[in-house]
């Protein structure tokens, strides 16, 4: 409770500064907060106060706060701010973060903000925006050390000293060497300049193997690149080997985390991007409904199997107790198999053409688990009504459907991936609809077959 | 299909080298593969061949392959290898990776392998193992540049040149300065040595603010640290400010990805760690069953509500069609709310004491979505049987239960987190059990109330 209490007292202080338009005290409070506290604070303010914070702070400080809060929230706030204020803040951010935010805005807003920005910064952003999301070009930064090959060590050191302040913000300390046309030639580390003679041309110092990635390289290729090379960053080149940016390992790792998060949210039915509870209620409701309404149709489809066999149910009403269990348990078993396939796909240990092997490996587990679950469920049914046939019908249906569920669950992500459909989004609904339909069909068909022994239960 | 074909032909070549005990050709093939291809190759071999690869390759090459494959698989292979072979390979790995693997072994194997390892390497590993998993101490590395404060620039440069080969593997290029007792005093960058006079003592070059983290800092603190500071790595100190290691941003980001993955797997019912299909069938079946058997008991508990109201069902058999739909749709709505709460918890925008606010924000979405889903479902029920009361009963139950489901789904992760129970693991089963019970109760109670209008449907 202390933590909340402190945050609340901080919020009061912030509101007080906002009321008095006191930039100094606001800056002081914000500087004293960790990024976690800032996220929490901004999340608990209304839009008017949020905007006031961003306009009252200096653009540098505002940019830092903007980088701390979740992207989905930053975009919401930006959409309600004046273009000129947004542009001033964006000018202070790193190129890849500028592009990430502007990409989420609608085209008109984006154009208006780019128009107000520093022309050089705006040009960098436009360059990044021209690339596909989650490619090297889309993830790269445009801040890095680059010198022409004909310079001497002395000239480079002089430049490093002269622009020390600007360069302090450059995250990657590698120095890239290019031809006068901008083609990449090599890379130096700061310590290479240490050992060298001042008059040496930097082109003579190039010795290390030069790694680079194409601007169109995809996220999965970048992940594997950094898995294989012990580097903090790598230069990005276009098809003519012209240096266009650098991509850092951290940016790739962060993009990977974002992708994992997005896949998880999609698998749980949060679609159309991240949801925060500070978003407008109707936006949240609409996005969730888009998923739920597909599911309700699929559910009605599955339940139509029960409706079709209603005569069996009316003779053996006890079966109605078991239908939701069979549906839910098959979903659980199938989802485990989906999760393992999604994991194996992302690790790269399986690919879409190996459906048969995966299917066989799931069937073997499904046989064991189906048997155990079927026995458990059959026993419960038998004990409840004292009717062995009810146990056989229910247990047999669950056992069979477990095997079917893991078969579908294990293979459907590979099939979807093979057809280039997002498996995180579609695997779950397809799985549960098919297993529900088959499960209901099996249970009610088995019951019909054993009808003479089940009468009146 | 080409990709698989190539991998298969690579596999044949590898099997051929193994048969001929041809270390040269094996090394050549392995060197030519990307880490993704290695993962795929090793995953498709049996244990005997996997072990042969690791013993035939030089320890350096074997260590690289070991680092490429998924950790769960590496542990399986290690468990079947000779201790002395494992020790030789581990000697070539970085300290944090050594510790990650040894931590997964049983105590006897771990002790035997540490015994065979290079004593200096083994001591580093033991130091890392003494820390909690996912703390700064558990995630740190022990390879970094460190010099006593009384050395001169010249002495440091001389040492850098002398040990250039060993140091080439050091990922972090920062130089840490300590007192003669090992207390941390400051940090230099390689370029600081560039600009300085050779006779200067390095202690005089210290100017930048020194950041450090305590060895007991938790993952969430480390994530926020690197969010707030534009650094590749930070020194780790014990309670006496003695430098004990360095932690890199990438190690923190990778630990975060691992945590996201684990939470996702747990939420889908894969418990007890990562599952790969190369693991033994009984291990996989047993681990999945541990989760399924809890779920089947919870399902039986929920279905007992239906059993209790069996008399209602036998009068209005059509209700049996809707019970699985109400169960499934409430689960969908509730899981969306769980996913948003888990996300907000991990972003730090909400904490366990804010249950009331979260509940209210979910109820408002639940009202809209409950209304829409209830209308849809009620309409479907009405159209099917032409009975308005059936529509009201079914739609009313689904609408009410949707509001209940999002209320529980939104708040249960916060409650579990407040009691220090893993919300990724427990939220789903608790949610579906409660919403199933309430949903069945509502549907059958509403049906009982409208019984006179529903007779014989």
Q: What is the pLDDT of residue A135?
A: 92
- Find the helix or strand (DSSP H, E) in which A146 lies: strand A145-148
Map residue B450 onto helix, strand or coil: coil
CA neighbor of A398 nearest in space, from A432, A366, A354, A428: A366
Task: Please answer yes or no on whether B324 and A327 come within 8 Å at the CB atom.
Answer: yes
Q: Please give the ipTM for the structure prediction.
A: 0.84
Min Cα distance A183 → chain B (Å) is 26
Residue written as tokens 């681990």?
B287
Alpha helices in B33-150 (DSSP H): 35-43, 47-56, 59-68, 71-79, 83-90, 95-104, 107-116, 119-129, 136-139
Phi/psi of residue A430, each to 5°?
-65, -45
Of B284, B307, B343, the CB nearest to A321: B307
DSSP string of B199-267?
TSBGGGG--SPPP-EETT-BHHHHHHHHHHS--SEEEEE-TT-BEEEEEEHHHHHHHHHHHHHHHHHHH
Per-residue model confidence as pLDDT tens for chain B (457 residues): 344 445 557 888 888 888 888 888 888 888 888 777 788 888 888 889 999 999 888 898 899 889 888 888 899 899 999 999 999 999 999 888 899 899 889 889 999 999 999 998 899 899 889 898 889 999 999 889 999 999 999 999 889 888 877 787 787 778 999 999 999 999 988 878 877 888 899 998 887 778 999 999 999 889 888 877 878 899 999 999 999 999 999 899 989 988 899 999 999 999 888 888 888 898 899 999 999 999 999 999 999 999 999 899 988 999 999 999 999 999 999 999 999 999 998 887 888 888 999 999 999 999 999 999 999 999 999 999 999 999 999 999 999 999 999 999 999 999 999 998 889 989 999 999 999 999 999 999 999 999 998 876 7
What lies within 8 Å, CB to CB, of A53 at 6+ separation is A14, A18, A26, A30, A42, A45, A62, A65
Q: Which two tokens stand for residue A130?
A: 């021209």
Q: How far apart are CA B308 and CA A384, in angstroms?
A: 12
CATH class of the domain at A281-454: mainly alpha
Dihedral of CA A110/A111/A112/A116: which sign? positive
Looking at per-residue confidence, does B193 or A321 come out higher? A321
Burial degree of B146 (CB within 10 A; 0-12, 13-18, 19+)? middle
The CA-CA-CA angle for residues B79, B81, B85, to 5°, reads 125
pLDDT digits (tens, 9 = 90+) for A353-394: 889 999 999 999 999 999 999 999 999 999 999 999 999 999
User: Please, which residues bridge with residue A236 across strands?
Assistant: A213, A245
Is the CB of A307 less than 8 angstroms away from the CB of B321? yes
Distance CA B140, CA B235 (A): 9
Question: Do A99 and A137 touch, CB atoms closer than 8 A?
Answer: no
DSSP state of A210: P
Chain B's closest residue to A172, CA to CA, is B232
- Tokens describing residue B223: 């994530």
Q: Report residue B414: phi and psi, to 5°.
A: -70, -40
CB contact under 8 A, B302 and A324: yes
- For residue B90, give both structure tokens: 């581990």
**Contact present, B435 and B404 (Cβ < 8 Å):** yes
Phi/psi region, residue A272 (left: phi>0; alpha: psi -120 to 50; beta: rest), is: left
A chain contacts of residue B332, beta-carbon cutoff 8 Å: 269, 291-292, 295
Q: Determine the length of chain A.
A: 457
B189 contacts A284? CB cut-off 8 A? no
Please judge whether B344 and A303 are an interchain contact, meaning their C-beta atoms are less than 8 angstroms apart.
no
Residue A264 CB neighbours (<10 A): 23
Minimum-distance CB partner of B36 among A35, A224, A440: A224
pLDDT tens track for A193-229: 877 888 899 998 887 778 999 999 999 889 888 877 8
- Give the architecture-level CATH label for domain B2-130: Alpha Horseshoe (1.25)
A319 to chain B nearest CA, in Å?
9
Q: Do the chains contact at A282 and B368, CB–CB below 8 Å?
A: yes
Rounded CA separation B382/A417 (Å): 39
Of A227, A269, A368, the CB nearest to B35: A227
pLDDT at residue A133 above 90? no
- Report the pLDDT averaged over residues A234-254: 93
Q: Is the dihedral of CA B249, B251, B254, B259 positive or negative?
A: negative
Chain B residues inside the 8 Å CB shell of A360: none
Least Cα separation, residue A20 to chain B (angstroms):
27
- Put simply, the answer to whether B343 touches A275 (Cβ < 8 Å) is yes
Q: For chain A, which residues make up each domain, given as ranges?
A: 2-130, 145-265, 281-454
Contacts with B285 from chain A: Cβ below 8 Å: 365, 368-369
Question: Does the beta-carbon distance from A324 to B268 stay under 8 Å?
Answer: no
Q: Which two tokens stand for residue B9?
A: 């032909």
CATH topology classification for B145-265: CBS-domain (3.10.580)
Residue B188, SS3 per DSSP? strand
* A323-354 pLDDT, tens digit each: 999 999 999 999 999 999 999 988 878 888 88
B36: chain A residues, CB-CB within 8 Å:
224, 348
Contact B224 A34 (CB under 8 A): yes
The C-alpha of A10 sits at a distance from chain B's nearest C-alpha, in angstroms, of 15
Label each residue of B254-278 as H, E or C. Answer: HHHHHHHHHHHHHHCCCCCCCCCCC
CB contact under 8 A, A324 and B329: no
Query: Which has the closest alpha carbon to A253: A139, A95, A128?
Result: A139
Q: Using alpha carbons, list the distances in angstroms from residue B57 to B18, B22, B44, B94.
A: 10, 9, 18, 18
- Burial class (CB within 10 angstroms; exposed 0-12, middle 13-18, buried 19+) of A239: exposed
Question: A22 φ, ψ to 5°?
Answer: -95, 90
Residues 6+ apart with CB under 8 A from A443: A319, A322, A323, A326, A393, A394, A397
Identify from A328, A368, A370 which residue to disrupt to test chain B contact, counting B C-beta atoms within 10 A and taking the largest count: A328
| Nearest residue in chain B measured CA to CA from A45 | B349
Residues of B in contact with A270 (CB under 8 A): 336, 339-340, 343
Q: What is the pLDDT of residue B8?
A: 58
- Per CB-CB distance under 8 Å, the chain A contacts of B43 are 349-350
Contact call for residues A141 and A251 (beta carbons, < 8 A): yes
Residues of B in contact with A194 (CB under 8 A): 157, 190, 193-194
> If we measure between CA atoms, which residue out of B68, B119, B65 comes closest to residue B89?
B65
Chain A: closest CA distance from residue B241 (Å): 22
CB proximity list for A13: less than 8 A, separation 6 or greater: A25, A29
- The helices-and-strands tally (H runs, E runs) of chain A is 23, 6
Cβ-nearest to B324 among A265, A289, A323: A323
Q: What is the model's pLDDT at position B28?
A: 87
> CA of A319: which chain B residue's CA is closest?
B320
Size of the A and B interface in Cβ pairs below 8 Å: 327
Taking CB atoms and an 8 Å cutoff, what residues of chain A touch B279? none
- Write the CA distances from B54 to A420, B51, B62, B63, B238, integer angstroms: 36, 5, 5, 8, 37
CB contact under 8 A, B227 and A335: no
> Residue B439: its pLDDT value, please?
97
Q: Inter-chain contact A373–B296, Cβ cutoff 8 Å?
A: yes
Gap between the Cα atoms of A16 and A3, Å rounded: 20
CB contact under 8 A, B270 and A364: no
Residue B257: which residues within 8 A CB-CB, separation 6 or more? A253, A256, A257, A260
Using pLDDT thresholds of 50, 70 and 90, give the confidence band for residue A8.
Answer: low
Chain B residues within 8 A of A340 when measuring between CB atoms = 270, 275-277
Chain B residue closest to A353 (CA)?
Answer: B1
Q: Is pLDDT above 50 for A4? A: no
In A, minimum Cα distance to B349 occurs at A40
Kindly list the residues from chain A whose CB atom is less than 8 angstroms away from the CB atom of residue B322: 303
Are B365 and A292 a contacting pair at CB < 8 A?
no
Facing residue for A228 by CB, picked from B35, B277, B364: B35
Mean pLDDT of A120-132: 89
Chain B residues with CB-CB distance to A276 below 8 A: 340, 343-344, 347, 349
Q: Is the Cβ pair B173, A193 closer than 8 Å?
A: no
Q: Which two tokens stand for residue A58?
A: 């200096």
Inter-residue contact A93 to A117 (CB < 8 Å): no
Dihedral in degrees, nearest 10, Cα atoms B217, B222, B224, B229: 120
| pLDDT confidence of residue A455 | 72
Q: How many residues belong to chain B?
A: 457
Closest-CA distance, B306 to chain A, in angstroms, reads 6
The Cα–Cα gap between B425 and B430 comes to 10
Cβ contact, residue pair A299, B227, below 8 Å: no
Report helix, strand or coil for B176: strand
Question: Closest by alpha carbon to A246, among A258, A237, A256, A257?
Answer: A237
């Amino acid at each position: 409770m202390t933590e909340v209490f402190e945050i609340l007292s901080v919020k009061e202080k912030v509101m007080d500064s906002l009321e008095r338009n006191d930039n100094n005290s606001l800056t002081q409070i914000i500087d004293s907060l960790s990024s976690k506290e800032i996220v929490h604070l901004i999340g608990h303010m209304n839009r008017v106060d949020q905007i006031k914070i961003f306009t009252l702070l200096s653009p540098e400080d505002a940019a830092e706060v903007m980088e701390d809060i979740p992207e989905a929230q930053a975009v919401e706030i930006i959409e309600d701010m004046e273009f000129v204020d947004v542009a001033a803040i964006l000018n202070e951010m790193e190129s890849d973060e500028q592009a990430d935010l502007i990409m989420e805005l609608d085209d008109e807003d984006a154009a208006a903000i780019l128009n107000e920005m520093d022309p050089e910064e705006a040009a960098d952003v436009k360059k990044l925006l021209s690339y596909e999301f989650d490619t090297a070009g889309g993830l790269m930064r445009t801040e890095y050390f680059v010198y022409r090959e004909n310079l001497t060590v002395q000239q480079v050191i002089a430049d490093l000293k002269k622009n020390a302040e600007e360069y302090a913000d450059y995250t990657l300390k590698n120095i890239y060497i290019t031809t006068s046309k901008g083609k990449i030639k090599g890379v130096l580390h700061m310590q290479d300049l240490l050992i060298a003679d001042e008059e040496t041309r930097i082109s003579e110092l190039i010795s290390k193997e030069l790694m680079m990635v194409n601007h169109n390289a995809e996220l999965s290729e970048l992940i594997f690149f950094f898995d294989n090379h012990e580097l903090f960053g790598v230069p990005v080149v276009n098809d003519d080997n012209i240096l266009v940016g650098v991509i850092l390992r951290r940016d790739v790792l962060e993009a990977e985390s974002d992708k994992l998060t997005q896949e998880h949210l999609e698998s749980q039915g949060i679609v159309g991007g991240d949801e925060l509870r500070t978003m407008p209620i109707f936006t949240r409701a609409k996005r969730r409904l888009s998923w739920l309404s597909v599911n309700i149709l699929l559910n009605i489809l599955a339940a139509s199997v029960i409706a079709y066999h209603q005569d069996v149910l009316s003779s053996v009403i006890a079966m109605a107790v078991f239908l939701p269990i069979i549906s839910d348990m098959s979903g659980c078993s199938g989802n485990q198999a989906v999760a393992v396939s999604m994991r194996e796909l992302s690790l790269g240990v399986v690919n879409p053409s190996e459906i048969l092997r995966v299917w066989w490996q799931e069937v073997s587990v499904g046989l064991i688990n189906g048997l155990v679950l079927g026995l458990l469920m059959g026993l419960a049914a038998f004990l409840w009504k004292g009717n062995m046939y009810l146990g056989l019908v229910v247990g047999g249906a669950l056992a069979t459907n477990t095997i079917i569920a893991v078969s579908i669950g294990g293979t459907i992500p590979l099939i979807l991936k093979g057809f280039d459909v997002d498996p995180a989004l579609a695997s779950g609904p397809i799985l549960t609809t098919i297993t529900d339909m088959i499960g209901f069909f099996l249970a009610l068909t088995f019951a019909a077959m054993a009808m003479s022994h089940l009468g009146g239960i």
